[in-house]
Chain A
Amino acid sequence: MSYTIEGKSGPWELVIGLEVHAQVISNAKLFSGAATAFGAEPNSQVSFVDAGFPGMLPVINRECVAQAVRTGLGLNAQINLWSRFDRKNYFYADLPQGYQISQYQHPIVGTGTIDIELEDGSTRTIGITRLHLEQDAGKSLHDQHPSKSYIDLNRSGVALMEIVSEPDMRSPEEAGAYLAKLRQILRYLGTCDGNMDEGSMRADVNVSVRKAGEGFRTRCEVKNVNSIRYVMQAVEAEARRQIAVWEEGGEVEQETRLFEPARGITRSMRSKEDAHDYRYFPDPDLVPLVLDEAWVAELKSGLPELPDAKRARFMRDYGLPAYDAGVLVAEKETAAFYETVAKGRDPKEAAKLIMGDFFAAMNRLGRSIEDPPVSAADLGALLDLVADGTINGRIAKEVFEAMVETGQSPGDIVEMKGLKQVTDTGAIEAAIDAVLAANADKVAEYKSGKDKLFGFFVGQTMKAMQGKGNPALVNEVLKRKLA
């Protein structure tokens, strides 16, 4: 059953397409050697090229081109060996050249696809129309002075990839899943950090509504939405607005709108009449970008394993269920962490430990996989201690918490705290004898048929042994003694 919004006149379908601006990970800007680090002092990362000084000329940054090609390959897309940069002309205070260098007619990457997975387990393929490289603009700061605006050109000239989807999405969930998947792929590729709160990934959301079986109606573009949640909210808010317009007998007008998260609505930014005439034309300062097929092949062979392939491999090679595999491959770093822990060990036990106690501790402490509460090596050592019978599962939990707290290795903790599992049957028998002697009434009840009391005896024995008893041996001896 496809997603619809119920209006007065019945159900409405949604048609959604996304234009995502993803900041390219590179040390230098797209056409200048200036640095690109986030959060630097205003105007500290600006070359004369970025500031549009007289006589300054752009020179393409090879690494930015490589990143765009890698991304195109990661999106199963056509790589255009011939592409071209155009100038998009408009005046704004934070656009020093008076034009943005972009790829209008001949983008570096053509059509591709992204597979998304939805809550109900179904999958959909979303088409990618194109990916092109362009320069970012600077930033206008209007809150620094009562009557003046300040300009920070640090971002001016930074390389962006604009990734345009087909209008293939039909629900807020699909839009959110698409953006999440795109971000995941970019992070895997190392071509964009995907940090939407820092502005290194932003989405323009195109939304229209229609009745079942209709062609496309007029769409509106909601600009610069900066989180996945907001994209989903913006889609719904804009769709509801358009439905209301149509149902009141009005006509949705093509325009650019802004999403206001606090109020949960979109508002008009500029109408079609105010649209700029960008006067695109080929940038005469640059020659066409011609890629060598062998170079593209080299980049292709250097691509990392992408999330879909990795998940399939985790399911196949490690025997993990789809859900677990999906969780572990969500971030490239998590997957690598898992594989370090699982290497040479029981992969399911490794998954259980990571997705259980480890994630819980990480979230509780506000740590991340890059700064984990316990190292992968220590986590593996902990699994080894369980596997070789040095400690039992129950003690492992205690050791893990001690590892989180002290940063010590599991071996040291077991040693220091004397947590080694007791496998000496003599000691176990002695402990059991004492428990049975102290609970003669319960022994009688058990023997008269109250089988459930077996667990009580196990618990008491383990307690007496400070949890260190080998559970299998404890069970075995108890069974014998109670027979």
Chain B
Amino acid sequence: MSLTDLTLAEARAKLRARQIGAAELTGAFLSAIERLNPRLNAFITVTPEQALAQAREADKALAAGDARPLTGIPLAIKDLFCTAGVRTTAGSKILAPFVPPYESTVTANLLRDGAVFLGKANLDEFAMGSSNMTSAFGGVENPWKRQQDPDAVLVPGGSSGGSAAAVAARLALGATATDTGGSIRQPAAFCGIAGIKPTYGRCSRWGTVAFASSLDQAGPVARTVEDCAILLGSMAGFDPKDSTSADREVPDFAAACARGVKGMRIGVPREYRLDGLSDEIEALWRQGLDWLRDAGAEVVDVSLPHTKHALPTYYIVAPAEASSNLARYDGVRFGLREDGEDLIDLYERTRAAGFGDEVKRRIMIGTYVLSAGYYDAYYLRAQKIRALILKDFTDAFGQVDAIVTPSTPTAAFGQGEKMDDPVAMYLNDVFTVPANLAGIPGLSVPAGLSADGLPLGLQVLGRPFDEESVFAVGAALERAAGFVAKPELVA
């Protein structure tokens, strides 16, 4: 078994047992990146020297018996997290020259716990997209292939497409990601790996380039649910620098994975049975519920009546916040500048050249819904619906401990598909968006393959700050599914 095939938990055990060295492990991933990244384009920036230096430090710590939770574990960092001294682009031309002088809280937490950073993972520009095709640094190839059509290049999902593809192709043991409307769970599902968006406020947003502040939440993607739990344990924690960060203890998430689901009540929201949901997704969902029943859980119907309004609500709230959050990219202080005749001209040239179409589209939508005369009809109404969506979940979680749904309405699609229809693209997020609007945790776990041989995921939703139940259910599904399939393109 090659080093890159290890799970994070396995690698950690071997490092601690001194069966493998951290430099050796990091070296294996760096050479895998060297071989595969030119094709996959999962990394925007690779930092081999820094990674090896960190790995050597890890080896010293391990030799001294000073192993922290992630000592020597090589990770990919979504290029939305500011990393001190390492270029941070947010997948945008406008930040292409930006080297932050500070480290985001989430990545600083990982470094504190001994992690090794391999480089910065590709993403949709400013995390806006579900395909990774909006990145100014090019699309990412999903390492999985359709059995019937192995030449088609599929998308890894988005926005954390580079993170998910890197982990699936064994270019990293795990990766940081962020989720504003499904950007962790959808690419995790498309790439056959696990990923969790924790409760809003669980991970600090400080130092992470903002898309939509009230929805953005960092989380990990990794090959197993337990690996996600280990990573989240390091990433999470109260941060006084983020006013929306929750001042709560970080529980032992990894321990929760072994808890089992006996006696738990699992909800099935009837409104998620969308028209046109494919038979294989429907079947997978039913299968997942059967697995949980077999493991001792009780499955009950719940109602989330406002779910049908979640997507339009999201596409008002997120662009509104984005239009304001992205105003700072003006060419005045950092990043790209296109000189102009005067200040307004400088703004216009810089932003016209620096932002891609999808970002511009969302800035315009956001500006529109906040403008005088439209605010009440759009933004204010969306906020009211958002409150109702949260209430739906609160009511449902009065009856059940977790909710299980499909992660995505389809398996991964091809590069170039849906590109001319933004609304069809937005539909990718239909199952994931409600959790962001409600701020609740959601995990995607690989549960099976499509008829075409592509991975499909199931989503587990839980109560705010009850990631432990989510991990327990996710791990139970993972054990039952026994998902061992590997992508075509793998290190």
B399 adjacent to chain A (CB < 8 Å): no
Instruction: Mark interface residues in B371-403 (1 if CB within 8 Å of A CB, else 0).
Output: 110010001000000000000000000000000
Q: In the complex, what's the smallest C-beta–C-beta distance from B242 to chain A, in angstroms?
A: 5
Known: A96-B332, A281-B375. A54 touches B100 (CB 8 A): yes
Known: A52-B333, A55-B207, A285-B213. A91 touches B100 (CB 8 A): no
Instruction: Mark interface residues in A46-79 (1 if CB within 8 Å of B CB, else 0).
Output: 0010011111111110000000000000000000
Bound-state Cα–Cα, A285 to B244, Å: 7
A151 adjacent to chain B (CB < 8 Å): yes
In the complex, the answer to whether B205 meets A55 with C-beta atoms within 8 Å is yes
Q: Residues of A contacting B375 with CB < 8 Å?
A: 279-281
Q: Residues of A contacting B242 with CB < 8 Å?
A: 57, 59
Chain A: number of interface residues, binned into ranges:
20 to 34
A286 adjacent to chain B (CB < 8 Å): yes
Q: Residues of A contacting B102 with CB < 8 Å?
A: 48, 53
Q: In the complex, what's the smallest C-beta–C-beta distance from B70 to chain A, in angstroms?
A: 22
Bound-state Cα–Cα, A53 to B101, Å: 10
Indicate which residue in B81, B205, B327, B371 contacts A277 across the interface (CB closer than 8 Å): B371
User: Restricting to A241-279, which residues have a CB under 8 Å from any CB of B?
Assistant: 277, 279
In the complex, the answer to whether B327 meets A89 with C-beta atoms within 8 Å is yes
Instruction: Mark interface residues in B188-214 (1 if CB within 8 Å of A CB, else 0).
Output: 000000000000000001111110111
Interface centre among B102, B214, B242, B324 (most CB of A within 10 A): B324
Bound-state Cα–Cα, A286 to B244, Å: 7
Q: Residues of A contacting B88 with CB < 8 Å?
A: 54
Q: In the complex, what's the smallest C-beta–C-beta distance from A83 to chain B, in angstroms?
A: 14
B273 adjacent to chain A (CB < 8 Å): no
Q: Would you call the interface of chain B mostly helix, strand, loop, or mixed?
A: loop
Instruction: Mark interface residues in B53-78 (1 if CB within 8 Å of A CB, else 0).
Output: 00000000000000000000000000
Indicate which residue in B208, B332, B370 contacts A151 across the interface (CB closer than 8 Å): B332
Q: Residues of B contacting A314 with CB < 8 Å?
A: none
Q: In the complex, what's the smallest C-beta–C-beta distance from A155 to chain B, in angstroms?
A: 15
Bound-state Cα–Cα, A279 to B102, Å: 31
A287 adjacent to chain B (CB < 8 Å): yes
In the complex, the answer to whether B243 meets A281 with C-beta atoms within 8 Å is no
Bound-state Cα–Cα, A92 to B243, Å: 26
Instruction: Mark interface residues in A278-305 (1 if CB within 8 Å of B CB, else 0).
Output: 0111001111000000000000000000
Bound-state Cα–Cα, A58 to B366, Å: 22
Interface centre among B333, B367, B371 (most CB of A within 10 A): B333
Q: Residues of A contacting B272 with CB < 8 Å?
A: none
User: Which B-chain residue is minimally distant from A149 (CB atoms)?
Assistant: B343
User: Which A-chain residue is minimally distant from B326 (CB atoms)?
Assistant: A98
Known: A54-B88, A54-B209, A96-B333. A281 touches B328 (CB 8 A): no
Known: A277-B371, A281-B370, A281-B379. A55 touches B327 (CB 8 A): no
User: Which B-chain residue is minimally distant from A281 (CB atoms)?
Assistant: B370
Q: In the complex, what's the smallest C-beta–C-beta distance from B390 to chain A, in angstroms?
A: 15
Bound-state Cα–Cα, A58 to B245, Å: 12
Q: Residues of B contacting A55 with CB < 8 Å?
A: 81-82, 100, 104, 205-210
Indicate which residue in B81, B104, B320 contacts A281 across the interface (CB closer than 8 Å): B320
Bound-state Cα–Cα, A57 to B240, Å: 10
A36 adjacent to chain B (CB < 8 Å): no
User: Restricting to A143-178, which residues have a CB under 8 Å from any CB of B?
Assistant: 149, 151
Q: Residues of A contacting B210 with CB < 8 Å?
A: 54-55, 285
B347 adjacent to chain A (CB < 8 Å): yes
Question: 6 closest Cβ contacts across the A-B interface?
Answer: A98-B327, A284-B213, A284-B214, A279-B370, A52-B328, A55-B207
The residues of B with any CB-CB pair to A shorter than 8 Å are 81-82, 88, 90, 95, 98, 100-102, 104, 205-210, 212-214, 240-244, 320-321, 323-324, 326-328, 330, 332-334, 343-344, 347, 367, 370-372, 375, 379
Q: 7 A-B Cβ contacts within 8 A?
A: A53-B102, A54-B209, A54-B210, A55-B207, A55-B208, A277-B371, A284-B214
